[in-house]
Amino acid sequence: MRIEIRRLAGALGAEILGVDLAKDIPAAGIRAAFLEHQVIFFRGQKLDPARFMAFARSMGKPVEYPFVKGIEGFPEVIEVKKLEHERHNFGGIWHSDTAYLAEPPMGSMLLAREVPPYGGDTEFASQYLAYEALSDGMRRVLDGLIAVNSSAKADVTRTREDMVKEYARQYEAEHPVVRTHPETGRKALYVNVGHTVRFRGMTEQESAPLLEFLFRHQVKLEFTCRWQWKVGDLAWWDNRCTQHNPVNDYHGHRRVMHRITLAGDRPR
C-alpha cells in the first residue's frame, strides 16, 4: 500500500495522508517515513486504547513510563493531561524523553483525546540539523564528551499538580553528547535542558557555559516544526534525533492525550 506524505517544514515533520490506523497498517511505508522525517502525524484517527496499542506494537515494543501509572487495562498507555485549574503542563519544556534512563525510548506516540479551543501546540526540533549546523571545531569538542542526565532536575520533576511530589527513586544515566542513530547512521545532539546536568568529569558550574549554548542552539527556529492538534490526531516522534516542547498557552482549558513509549537501546 502506497502512502501519501506531506512535509510540514524544511527541518523535519510530515503528515501521513489517507491512512486509517484502525484498519490495515502499511507498516513498511510508515516506518520509512518516520526515519526520514523524524516526526510524523496522522489526522482524524478513531483509535480506542486496544487499537492504539496494536499500532504501537506494529512499530516497536511498548514499555511502561517510569513515573506515571498507565490507564486501566493498558499499563503502557499513560494519560497526559492538563486540567482547567492547572497552570503547569506535563513535560512543559524542551526535552528528549527520559534521557536519564540507561536505555532511553526509541520513540513516543501521542494521541489527542481532548484539545483546548486554542493553543496547546507541540513543537519539535531536529537534533540532526542542530549537530550539523555546528562548526567543525565545536563538533570535535562535543564528539568526545559524555553527558550526565538525571530525573531529579527540577524543571521536569515538578510539572503537574497531581503528579507524585517526591519520587521514591531517582534515575541517572550517562550518554554521549553526540549519538549516532542506530538505523540511519546520522549523528545527532543528545543533551537537553530538561535532563542534562553536566558533563562527565566536570562540575555543574564548569559544564554550564557550554550546555547553555547548546540548549539555545538546538531549538533554533530553523530546526523546528509545530503541530496544531485536533481530536483524533496521532504524532510519532523519533526520540533519538528530536526534541519536543508542549506549548503551555491554554490556561483555563482542558487538554487530554494518551501516550505510548516505545523501547529503545543504549545511545552510542
Residues with catalytic function? 95, 97, 244, 259
Q: Measure CA of the first residue to CA of the last residue in the chain; give whole Å.
A: 34
Residue 9's Cα: distance from chain center in Å?
A: 18
- How many Cα atoms are found within 13 Å in the side-chain-facing hemisphere of 136? 0
Distances (CA, A) of 261 to 8, 42, 199, 206, 258: 23, 17, 27, 34, 10
Q: Which grid coordinates are listed for 24?
A: 490495515
Choose among 206, 256, 257, 223: nearest CA to 123.
223
If you search the block for the grid coordinates 487495562, which residue do you land on?
73
Length of the chain: 268
